[in-house]
A = this chain, B = another copy of it.
């Protein structure tokens, strides 16, 4: 009997990816439940066959057991469901876990995965991406409760401690002697599921070992999730480059994704806390599959996540009182909001300018070029003897303006691109500040309640002191982080503006030179 399924959400196929576009409510015939990786092969009523994400469909006729579990033998691919909330990415070629399953936990079957720790669930495609907060600290859809940390008396010491020092600019993280960096390069296409699905693997080479490791986008995503879980209460972790980009297999897409992954990785490398973390070191330095798999399992089991990260922070500085803390938080909050607006303004005008350069402006310079050349052609028909110098010069001028048209159109890619990319990165980073700062604000509110709680005998005087001390630690963490942000920002914008202006100078100088050359063709009179 043919297994039928109903489509739950609209899904648009990626071209060249053997996928099938389906619409909500449509009834499909399941042809192959054993494709794996969260996919099934299905046929629609018009007879078209293709892959559909299993999350997007439900069994009909009470048949809820059509899934790949039916045939455990063919199941090695399918049963691999990553524990930490990657089940939403099944529809994307490079977001599935299939070739490095190491835990054997099957959460397969209809209904999506449920991990033991909870986690985030993402669904995209026809729908807007959303993250649903489950029972952990996931993606900040609600502000994590800092109370857990504020009342912690025993602060961890030892290897995992994150010290904060008094630097020239104020509280700072401990920076390594040699700053870490890495190169993301050499994207290679691989395929799986008997060639039905393919993915891109990037080579990541850290400057410390100079030994490349391979990672797919989903590995970066896994790292991102780990970093969010572990650090996001204290450090804004910028999002990975957007998954929802079309034209995945085009060179352009791979290039831009690689460039953005490079940007993201470099930013992570530059961060003294992140770059020094076990999970980040694992990502860059794992020696073989075994080390990677063991490291992964360990990272996923890390308990020091969410607000607990503050327990590891050790500011070797005098305690700050909560009024000062609040003022600082307010300043940071306002600064990040203002910068966010300003960055968005720059992005808006930059995008507008890009469109004008590649659109009407290019067209107009072409038209100017054509007009000069046409005039030259007409002059050539005059039959007048003394024409050639002018017509040749006019033609050269016309061609010069055509060249300028192409230069104008190509220029945004040369300079505006980097300006927009960097600002886009900052937009993403600034978007994380409200959540991070929110944790701190919630902590202030808790500490403000402390006196009352003491009166009510809910907490002891000692607890109150602990809370104040811990709030001071949180404040130092935010200050260190803001100082890190400012120092990076100044570096980035300095570099960015210099690069932009250098390219702009070159651009205008080249145009001037070209025009000067065209000018030289006319006879002086």
The interface of chain A, by Cβ under 8 A from chain B, is 168-169, 331, 334-335, 338-339, 341-343, 345-346, 349-350, 352-353, 356, 360-361, 364, 367-368, 370-372, 374-375, 377-379, 381-387, 389-390, 393-394, 397, 483, 486-487, 489-491, 493-495, 497-498, 501-502, 504-505, 508-509, 511-512, 515-516, 518-519, 522-525
A247 to chain B, nearest CB (A): 28
Q: Please, how many angstroms separate the alpha-carbon atoms of A505 and B390 in the complex?
A: 19
Complex contact A349–B375 (CB within 8 A): no
Task: Tell me which residues across on chain B come within 8 A of A367, comparing CB atoms.
Answer: 349, 352
Complex contact B374–A345 (CB within 8 A): yes
Q: Please, how many angstroms separate the alpha-carbon atoms of A505 and B356 in the complex?
A: 22
Complex contact B384–A483 (CB within 8 A): yes
Identity of the chain B residue whose Cβ is nearest the Cβ of A506 in the assembled complex = B512
Complex contact B505–A512 (CB within 8 A): yes
A351 to chain B, nearest CB (A): 11
Complex contact B519–A502 (CB within 8 A): yes
Complex contact A361–B356 (CB within 8 A): yes
Known: A339-B375, A339-B379, A497-B519. 18 other contacts (CB 8 A): A169-B385, A338-B378, A339-B378, A345-B371, A346-B375, A349-B364, A350-B368, A353-B364, A379-B489, A384-B486, A390-B490, A498-B519, A498-B524, A501-B518, A505-B512, A508-B508, A508-B511, A509-B509
Complex contact B497–A397 (CB within 8 A): yes
Identity of the chain B residue whose Cβ is nearest the Cβ of A385 in the assembled complex = B169
Q: Please, how many angstroms separate the alpha-carbon atoms of A342 and B368 in the complex?
A: 11
Task: Tell me which residues across on chain B come within 8 A of A386, comparing CB atoms.
Answer: 169, 486-487, 490
Q: Please, how many angstroms separate the alpha-carbon atoms of A497 and B523 in the complex?
A: 10
Interface pairs (26), CB distance under 8 Å: A169-B386, A335-B381, A338-B378, A338-B381, A342-B374, A345-B371, A346-B372, A349-B367, A349-B368, A349-B371, A352-B364, A384-B487, A386-B486, A386-B490, A389-B494, A390-B494, A390-B497, A393-B494, A397-B497, A494-B525, A497-B519, A497-B522, A501-B519, A508-B512, A509-B512, A512-B512
Nearest 7 A/B pairs, CB to CB: A508-B512, A501-B519, A384-B486, A346-B371, A349-B367, A338-B378, A509-B512
Task: Tell me which residues across on chain B come within 8 A of A339, comparing CB atoms.
Answer: 375, 378-379
Complex contact B356–A490 (CB within 8 A): no
Complex contact B519–A394 (CB within 8 A): no
Task: Tell me which residues across on chain B come within 8 A of A491, comparing CB atoms.
Answer: 525
A158 to chain B, nearest CB (A): 32
Contact A490-B387, Cβ < 8 Å, known A378-B342, A511-B508, A512-B508: yes
Complex contact B343–A382 (CB within 8 A): no
Q: Please, how many angstroms separate the alpha-carbon atoms of A249 and B378 in the complex?
A: 40
Q: Please, how many angstroms separate the alpha-carbon atoms of A489 and B345 in the complex?
A: 49
Complex contact A378–B516 (CB within 8 A): no
Q: How many protomers of this protein does the assembly include?
A: 2
A274 to chain B, nearest CB (A): 21
A300 to chain B, nearest CB (A): 37
Q: Name A522's contact: one of B371, B494, B524 (CB within 8 Å).
A: B494
A169 to chain B, nearest CB (A): 5
Task: Tell me which residues across on chain B come within 8 A of A361, comparing CB atoms.
Answer: 356, 361
Q: Please, how many angstroms separate the alpha-carbon atoms of A356 and B516 in the complex?
A: 24
Q: Please, how many angstroms separate the alpha-carbon atoms of A58 and B393 in the complex?
A: 59
Q: Please, how many angstroms separate the alpha-carbon atoms of A387 and B486 in the complex?
A: 9
A59 to chain B, nearest CB (A): 54
Q: Please, how many angstroms separate the alpha-carbon atoms of A490 and B388 in the complex?
A: 10
Contact A515-B508, Cβ < 8 Å, known A335-B382, A367-B349: yes
Task: Tell me which residues across on chain B come within 8 A of A487, comparing CB atoms.
Answer: 384, 386
Q: Please, how many angstroms separate the alpha-carbon atoms of A331 and B381 in the complex?
A: 9
Task: Tell me which residues across on chain B come within 8 A of A486, comparing CB atoms.
Answer: 382, 384, 386-387
Q: Name A394's contact: one of B360, B493, B523 (CB within 8 Å).
A: B493
Q: Please, how many angstroms separate the alpha-carbon atoms of A502 and B341 in the complex?
A: 41
Identity of the chain B residue whose Cβ is nearest the Cβ of A169 in the assembled complex = B385
Complex contact A515–B522 (CB within 8 A): no
Q: Please, how many angstroms separate the alpha-carbon atoms of A458 and B385 in the complex?
A: 43
Task: Tell me which residues across on chain B come within 8 A of A345, comparing CB atoms.
Answer: 370-371, 374-375
Task: Tell me which residues across on chain B come within 8 A of A352, comparing CB atoms.
Answer: 364, 367
A358 to chain B, nearest CB (A): 13
Complex contact A343–B375 (CB within 8 A): yes
Complex contact B397–A501 (CB within 8 A): yes
Identity of the chain B residue whose Cβ is nearest the Cβ of A504 in the assembled complex = B515
Task: Tell me which residues across on chain B come within 8 A of A375, comparing CB atoms.
Answer: 339, 342-343, 345-346, 493
Complex contact A331–B383 (CB within 8 A): yes
A522 to chain B, nearest CB (A): 5
Complex contact B384–A368 (CB within 8 A): no
Q: Please, how many angstroms separate the alpha-carbon atoms of A394 and B339 in the complex?
A: 14
A503 to chain B, nearest CB (A): 10
